[in-house]
Every structure is written in C-alpha cells, then in structure tokens.
Amino acid sequence: MVRKAMVTKSATTTKTRSSRGARARRLSAAQIHTLFARLAELDPNPSTELHYASPFELLVAVILSAQATDVGVNKATDKLFPVANTPGKILALGEDGLKPYISSIGLYNGKAKNIIATCKILIAQYGGKVPHDRAALEALPGVGRKTANVVLNTAFGEPTIAVDTHIFRVANRTGLAPGKDVRAVEDGLLEVVPAEFRQHAHHWLILHGRYVCKARKPDCGHCVIRDLCKFPDKSPAE
C-alpha cells in the first residue's frame, strides 16, 4: 500500500512538472500581443504571394499550391488565367487542355482532375461562384480545411488561420501555440491571437516562417520577436 502511494505521488509530481514545463514554453498573453504588434508594424497589410484577381482564381491557385511553392504556382497561373480564369473557361479547356498549363507543378495530373471536377460543381450548384461557406468549400474536390481557410480569409475577409508547414513551425518554435498536429495549432492560435490581429495573423505568420523562421537555418539575427521566442537553438545575432 505504501509502495503504491509512493508510485502514485511520483507520477503526480512528474505530471505536475511536465505541465509546468509546457506552460513555461508558452508565450504569455502580453508577449503574444507584443509579437503581433511588431509583425504588424513591419507589414501593416500583409497578403498572399499567390497571384489572383478573383475568389475563383485564388481557389485554383491554392489547390495547385499543395506541395508546391507559390513561385511555381504563379508561373503556371500567369499563363493559365489570361486564357481561362472562370469555371466555364477551364471546363472548355478540359482536363487534357488544362494539364499543359500546370505540368510544371508537382502532382499536376491529380490537381487537373480535381480542378475540372470542382468547376463542374461550381457551375451546377453555385452559378459558377465560389461559395462563402466552409462546408461547401471543403466538399469540393482537392479542397481541405487548409485551402478552405485560405479562401475564407483572403477572398472573403474571415479571421480564419490556415496552418501550413511554416505556421506550424513558427507556432511551435516560438511558444505561440504549440501543438502536435496542424488542427491543434489552428485551434490554439484561434484561442490566443488577439481579435485585433486575427484577420492578418495567417499572413504574418506564414511570411515570418518563409523568410525569417526558416526550417533549416532560422535567421534569428534579423528576427523582430527574437527576445520573445522560446526556441532554444537560436542562431547567433549579428
């Protein structure tokens, strides 16, 4: 009985220490406000680096961006959109006609199939318009939660946060919203990001991860939130 009590007490102590450690790795509310205030000062009106001129063009670009760079997607859509930038025009191209425009992008065969199928649904169910509704967006071929979040935020101005590899890395490294998977990070960000910064939080974090908090070699010396960040392996300041 005594041994059992000791084991229980030890487990409780370990759990308590782990909980304290997790809290210590998280930014405080004041630190989070400061973090976004600094990012906002650097870039008051951030935007996606994908080229688009309509919600439909954005939707197509984001579908193409899966496992591809924005630069690569832009090279393809800069040729595609002057020729076909509506569901009807892309359907007129057909799957075989669409592929040459996007063949430089990874997984282009599957993406072409999804885009054609999406165009058919948009015409049949939404009059050729991109629906302003999460469930409707996620029901489209090639569209998951992340893509829906991008469209809702960038095309329709909703304060959603699409968590990609850059945002996942920044949220975990900094202690902003640590999580084991993208949904946990998304939920954590929606909980802690102050309302005044929520609209642009997605773009601030993705750009910070892309150009400063890089995966292999973070540029901590030029990071405006270096003093707030919980990442232990910071690169040296210059």
User: Which residues are catalytic, by number?
Assistant: 146, 164
Q: Which of 22, 62, 30 is nearest to 160 (CA)?
A: 62
SS3 state at 44: coil
Alpha-carbon torsion 225, 228, 234, 235, what sign? positive
Q: In the 8-state DSSP scheme, what is residue 91?
A: H
Phi/psi at 104 (nearest 5 deg)? -80, -5
The span from the CA of 33 to the CA of 208, in Å, is: 16
**Please, what's the largest Cα pairwise distance for the chain?**
79
3-state helix, strand, coil in the chain (%, to 5): 65, 0, 35
Neighbours of 170 (CB within 10 A): 28
Q: Do the beta carbons of residue 55 and residue 155 sit within 8 Å?
A: yes
Q: Do the beta carbons of residue 147 and residue 62 sit within 8 Å?
A: yes
